[in-house]
Structure 1
């Protein structure tokens, strides 16, 4: 038997002995692992966690991970052989596979989808179609005529063993050569196959060293200089090398060589360097280098305040009996210093530590502080890193180079084998939730499970706990440690309500800014202090509208209005990325009276520049932070005092610490407060408290000005008092009354289809199937989603509120999978897409 790679397998010889099989996790949405036969030649080199190449179906070649090795052949199909093993050591450990299995079961997805999310794309392989001549094809005897363009391909294949699809197009001067390739395949002139290549490539740098006999003999070196004395450029290259590398004092340095780029940076002749290498005076060689700068750790003594020391001891005491502890510390209480002390102790014991952060923006400041303490033993893992950088962190954890990792939600998938502590900073943050694609996990909850699998401890840190975590602490499931003081001389800020409607009536509202907020900003600028302005919407304006008839430009593919972006001069959909020109006239009535409604961060930035022309204004939102180091650059500029005012979305609300910020303005608090979500009150309390915590971080009291049309709302009163406990009790009574988390478990099922009627019909049918599941539950819907169409797909939602007691959730999920299979089995609903989201909000 021959596989796609041309290898042959002697099946008769192998069947004579007991066959060994492997269950392989594949990156496809199927509910189980697939079983493959391990060839005798690979048996000793294979095991759990190795990457392998397998054939899936007739044409696909996929990379999978070995999940289990056994001797039980599959009953439903004949096991195909594993084609190739890619690793000398496993890249995934058994604990990870156990974690993936739990995640697939808990979040109602497939283990292949979890694997796809877990592995950095640099560790996955991609298939690329290639063509080669069919060895059995003879053009002289073939009954099929070959035209001119087909002949060009065949002639090229006599010169080269293989061609890629795109190469064929270039040869023929066509965008696509698919039709011609298809014709050659039908004429049996060529074979199409998949060539699998690995994406990851290590960082390689070129080095130069002095060859023998010149490296060990001064006499030979002097002769060499006499020879090249009339070639000053070659002499310059050699002198530069000897200046950097003292070959006779330290032969090891010569062995290690000198980076080639040193010569170009010094202005040495490239051609002279090549000549010296060609004449075997110098030798060029390659060295694999880390993409991460080697930073030495410093033995910094961190002086904890008495209340911090007390908090640290309480955490340790709670860890004696509790797996998870909630550290409830007000903004500015110095939680990071407590984290550092705990991390030090765990690393000294030989275990690993994961510090989970909700936003990449947070990593810039906290990483700088942590690197001073932990140096190069600390790895950083987030989505702005390239594929190659992410693979290096993965391999650094595998090899033990990184025993401590700071990362965003995807870092829970790293190959830890001895976690001792997981810290989740800002544990309340909604950005810990992954919405698309599957697995749609909550990183905080998944990290707690990961810690449990490792028998590690978990610390949840926040100034405004999520109600779920606070509920668990109140019910003794988690330990609880409060920190109610700010570090050093820092004082809690002064809160000021600014009534938008009152100022509007008195004609005091200018460019959406109330009088009091304008005055406070001016006061800060006069004293060379800094200002943060928060608005939870990017773009220039949420939408544009016709003043005559009320027409609003909407996305062609989604049921949402287009957001106006002034800098790029376009209308943009924030759901599917659709872009359009800014309308000059109304398409409904023809009027040219088009106005922008509402305000985004772009418009606020422009307004501030007009109100305070002397101020240097910057903006931090998704549009300004798309590049890799954009976060860092903006924050460095602000921290260095190069900006006076920073406007931003929720990125600026948490974890940032700037000495000179004394004024924080929340431009439109109503937008946070009146969002259609049962958590809107909780989110508003958290966001306002968090952004307020950026004000007055040192010895000067800061001011927080909140602009609202409802200044008498009870949430504002609770924020001003800092009365989290009372606010929690008020909100929880409502949640208990109307069956919302944490008293029930929510599961949202979204049904999608390009035709509204089919989507609705499938949703109704699924709702009836779910209602028949015999567990204690409430089924709401189906109803049209809040945004009823996205990317030309119509959406309908079902919300299930599940009793949390016993094994009700697990039983329901098992039955739900059966219902989905039954729905998908029906001919009318085969093209319907269904998304299951556990803990959706």
Structure 2
């Protein structure tokens, strides 16, 4: 880590040559050293974006990580081509955070940079062509065809043309063959023009020329002159109607959006004439893509329990950097967050509120925007590149002092971070799996706070065992909030035995009689229902009833999920899809049936059982669009939907007054999953989705459908007995060496050839066993999904002792061993993927 962000500057003035170590968005172990040209040396510094050449052809955006006077030994330093900004885009604290992340999560700092910077801040290159200066058509030995002649004639009148320009000139869709031919004939040169991706939003505005505002008689004369030109007169009257320049002359300086005239259907040519004649002026301004909004001064009234919790959090922060807020569902954690955020901002600090899902972000933004107005930024992947760059620049400039966002928001350029809140800190959505860095945003946020000397508040109704363990060890502070806000009561749980109903012939379309009755009762009372099933699609798969054939992905070792809406089968790993066959390709039978339940099938079943109900579905398929979540939540909150079916998206933080019934379709599927966290996840998911019911004056009901109602975990969930459940599970984990008692590192080996992947995995595993640290090694085993995207997968698991420097030493040796193996000819095409804290 020292080499990456130790001394950021060397300041020996006796030497004149300056060099910069630059972080490049490529997976290389070190920063690359470039020479700083003399003409740029005064304008350059840590965190500046620069353009550099990497290799023979690539032009990349890099970030300066260090400035010094030591030339590289192994290669001659190329010069930096240009600086992109007149200020740093990234600050030294960010570079320090990137360096920690690259070391802890076993990846390269360039991969962290690639994930951290929004795409709009990275350059793109566009291929262009120009005539070869040495080309002479009279002496060239290569004849040209008609289309090549036309293209060269067009180029004779222009210095350069893009591929799109060439296609337009020739009226064809693909130009690559012609370009290739002209390059071979030495008639043209192809080059890359580097361009910025981010473009600010520009608004055209119109205002009245200054002399007409200062002298009213001039305007009267003007109206007489254009009396015979009614279209011009309409435009002037429209302007004066919107901008009363004689009552409030200062408004003229601000002018009017040009769209006001075009949207009103007024003559564009008449508007141009008035501008041309100097009567109106047109000018452009850069505006925000986000609506300007004032925050509310209204004080939030906390309950006595919330006030006590707030004071306890502040007291704990005096001694601890991290505090766990264990607040049951509906206890009012959001109101607590708001008061703490306000206090931090009033003290001049920046605040980050992390949420696990975009769905939650959308839901909370409206509530928080009313309080914080335009001081608050929102950052998530559904925003466009330009919108994300505006939030980045807003944090950089200090305009935004509070950001609410998903895991990627930890990379924003904070420089005075005072408070980080991680809501629903137990959520698995905080884990990034692909691509690198494969980080856990909750853990990374705690390190980010430490770097900024800030405080971290972890909030959850069902804390992760790691956080609760740290709280019990007094490493974290701990505050409990165990009473619901207002008069709201915790929901009543009821177990519905699916096997009993099936024997009695009472199970209809996978709905037990109890759940059907409760839904019918809620609909009768004009109340709302949530149905939870953690599998999207119509059904997990389709199968032939005669021969048992099941369609599988061509590229992965998984069955294809049946989606009825598009009449297709999809792979949820690689995206492969194909149409549903009418007959079995194996035996020719037409008895193909859907097996299992997905959200799409449940939606259909509900429409058959309750034809009068308005039903909607919330899963990845229905929320792909930018405002998909928002529209669904607005419809549900506005009472336009009676029953909402969803995946784990609906378990998180949603707060609706009229939800009185929650149905959990298949609790056993959550519980019986091959993962040591299965019990913990089941407890969390069922408790969280149950918490959406009865959040106001009426007590809610939660129906858990199961085939094994005698399971002890159901009793613990129903009584809210988190502590006993924790103690029981932790005993198992300690006995079999699972987190939080050990640190887990998973190494995945991938290759297109099964035998090569297996040999590489075994070779690495044998070498890992020789590393002298306290550890348990498991594997290598074929992955749970043995093939993804035509790559065969083997996994090795290392359980490392948490004391001392065992982890750091193991990671360092692991990196060397992977690099050494890939020098062997047999394993050059093998890909090793390291995942720290994979589960």
TM-score where L is the length of structure 2: 0.97
Deviates more, 1:175-184 or 1:798-807: 175-184
Alignment partners' CA distance in 1, 2:318 and 2:452: 16
Matched residue SS, 1:532: strand
Q: Report whether the alignment pairs 1:771 with 2:769.
A: yes
1:546-599 Cα deviation digits (max 9, x unpaired): 000110111111111111111111111111111111121111111000010011
Residue of structure 2 equivalent to 1:665 = 663
**Shift of residue 172 of structure 1?**
4.7
For the Cα contact (< 8 Å) 1:322–1:478, is it kept in 2?
yes
Alignment partners' CA distance in 2, 1:183 and 1:587: 45
Residue of structure 1 equivalent to 2:436 = 438
Alignment partners' CA distance in 2, 1:586 and 1:447: 51
Residue of structure 2 equivalent to 1:558 = 556
Deviates more, 1:403-412 or 1:263-272: 263-272
Q: Report whether the alignment pairs 1:199 with 2:197.
A: yes
For the Cα contact (< 8 Å) 1:166–1:176, is it kept in 2?
no
Q: Report whether the alignment pairs 1:279 with 2:277.
A: yes
- Which residue of 749, 753, 756 maps to 1:755? 753
Residue of structure 2 equivalent to 1:325 = 323
Residue of structure 1 equivalent to 2:80 = 82
For the Cα contact (< 8 Å) 1:397–1:414, is it kept in 2?
yes
Matched residue SS, 2:212: coil
**Shift of residue 626 of structure 1?**
0.7
**Shift of residue 144 of structure 1?**
4.6
Alignment partners' CA distance in 1, 2:492 and 2:577: 42
- Which residue of 792, 795, 798 maps to 1:797? 795
- Which residue of 125, 128, 140 maps to 2:126? 128
- Which residue of 400, 403, 407 maps to 2:401? 403
1:664-709 Cα deviation digits (max 9, x unpaired): 0001111111111110000000000000000110111110000011
For the Cα contact (< 8 Å) 2:550–2:559, is it kept in 1?
yes
**Shift of residue 210 of structure 1?**
0.9
Alignment partners' CA distance in 2, 1:165 and 1:825: 39
For the Cα contact (< 8 Å) 1:788–1:795, is it kept in 2?
yes
For the Cα contact (< 8 Å) 2:570–2:576, is it kept in 1?
yes
Matched residue SS, 1:215: helix
Residue of structure 1 equivalent to 2:628 = 630
**Shift of residue 621 of structure 1?**
0.7
Q: Report whether the alignment pairs 1:737 with 2:735.
A: yes
**Shift of residue 191 of structure 1?**
2.2
Residue of structure 2 equivalent to 1:51 = 49
Alignment partners' CA distance in 1, 2:190 and 2:816: 39
Matched residue SS, 1:58: coil
Residue of structure 1 equivalent to 2:99 = 101
Alignment partners' CA distance in 2, 1:147 and 1:234: 53
Alignment partners' CA distance in 2, 1:70 and 1:148: 56
Alignment partners' CA distance in 2, 1:504 and 1:169: 65
Residues 234 and 648 from structure 1, CA distance in 2 versus in 1: closer, same or farther, beyond 3 angstroms? same
Residue of structure 1 equivalent to 2:713 = 715
For the Cα contact (< 8 Å) 1:785–1:796, is it kept in 2?
yes
Alignment partners' CA distance in 1, 2:643 and 2:352: 34
Residue of structure 1 equivalent to 2:60 = 62
Matched residue SS, 1:251: coil
Residue of structure 1 equivalent to 2:478 = 480
**Shift of residue 137 of structure 1?**
3.0
**Shift of residue 755 of structure 1?**
1.2
Q: Report whether the alignment pairs 1:21 with 2:26.
A: no
Q: Report whether the alignment pairs 1:547 with 2:509.
A: no
1:462-517 Cα deviation digits (max 9, x unpaired): 00000100111111110111111111100011100000111000000011100000
**Shift of residue 278 of structure 1?**
2.4
Matched residue SS, 2:499: helix
Q: How does 1:407-486 map to 2 (within 5 A)?
A: 407-486=405-484
Q: Report whether the alignment pairs 1:294 with 2:292.
A: yes
Residue of structure 2 equivalent to 1:686 = 684
Matched residue SS, 1:469: helix
Alignment partners' CA distance in 2, 1:349 and 1:721: 41
Matched residue SS, 2:684: helix
**Shift of residue 146 of structure 1?**
4.3
Deviates more, 1:135-144 or 1:187-196: 135-144
Residue of structure 2 equivalent to 1:575 = 573
Residue of structure 2 equivalent to 1:369 = 367
**Shift of residue 373 of structure 1?**
1.3
Residue of structure 2 equivalent to 1:597 = 595
**Shift of residue 763 of structure 1?**
0.8
Alignment partners' CA distance in 2, 1:367 and 1:529: 25
Residue of structure 1 equivalent to 2:5 = none
Q: Report whether the alignment pairs 1:840 with 2:838.
A: yes
Alignment partners' CA distance in 2, 1:641 and 1:148: 65
**Shift of residue 17 of structure 1?**
6.2
Residue of structure 1 equivalent to 2:700 = 702
Residue of structure 2 equivalent to 1:241 = 239
Q: Report whether the alignment pairs 1:341 with 2:339.
A: yes
- Which residue of 184, 187, 190 maps to 1:189? 187
Matched residue SS, 1:361: helix
Matched residue SS, 1:632: helix
For the Cα contact (< 8 Å) 2:15–2:69, is it kept in 1?
no
Alignment partners' CA distance in 1, 2:86 and 2:794: 48
1:88-130 Cα deviation digits (max 9, x unpaired): 1111000000000000111011111100100010111011222
Alignment partners' CA distance in 1, 2:63 and 2:110: 9
Matched residue SS, 2:468: helix
Alignment partners' CA distance in 2, 1:761 and 1:376: 57
Residue of structure 2 equivalent to 1:508 = 506
Deviates more, 1:563-572 or 1:402-411: 563-572
Alignment partners' CA distance in 2, 1:564 and 1:179: 40
1:770-802 Cα deviation digits (max 9, x unpaired): 111111111111111111111111111111111
Residue of structure 2 equivalent to 1:4 = none
Residue of structure 2 equivalent to 1:151 = 149
**Shift of residue 16 of structure 1?**
12
Q: Report whether the alignment pairs 1:379 with 2:384.
A: no
Deviates more, 1:211-220 or 1:463-472: 211-220
Residue of structure 2 equivalent to 1:8 = none
**Shift of residue 160 of structure 1?**
1.3
**Shift of residue 321 of structure 1?**
0.7
Matched residue SS, 2:749: strand
1:160-205 Cα deviation digits (max 9, x unpaired): 1112234445545555444443443344432222111111111111
**Shift of residue 252 of structure 1?**
2.5
Residue of structure 2 equivalent to 1:533 = 531
Matched residue SS, 2:635: helix
Alignment partners' CA distance in 2, 1:294 and 1:132: 45
Q: How does 1:220-259 map to 2 (within 5 A)?
A: 220-259=218-257
- Which residue of 67, 70, 73 maps to 1:72? 70
Uncovered stretches (5+) of structure 2, i.e. residues with no partner: 1-12
Alignment partners' CA distance in 1, 2:823 and 2:460: 46
1:219-243 Cα deviation digits (max 9, x unpaired): 1111111111122221111001011
**Shift of residue 143 of structure 1?**
4.6
**Shift of residue 805 of structure 1?**
0.8
For the Cα contact (< 8 Å) 1:353–1:405, is it kept in 2?
yes
Matched residue SS, 2:445: helix
Alignment partners' CA distance in 1, 2:142 and 2:506: 85
Alignment partners' CA distance in 1, 2:660 and 2:537: 26
Alignment partners' CA distance in 1, 2:172 and 2:281: 44
Alignment partners' CA distance in 1, 2:176 and 2:609: 60
**Shift of residue 753 of structure 1?**
1.1
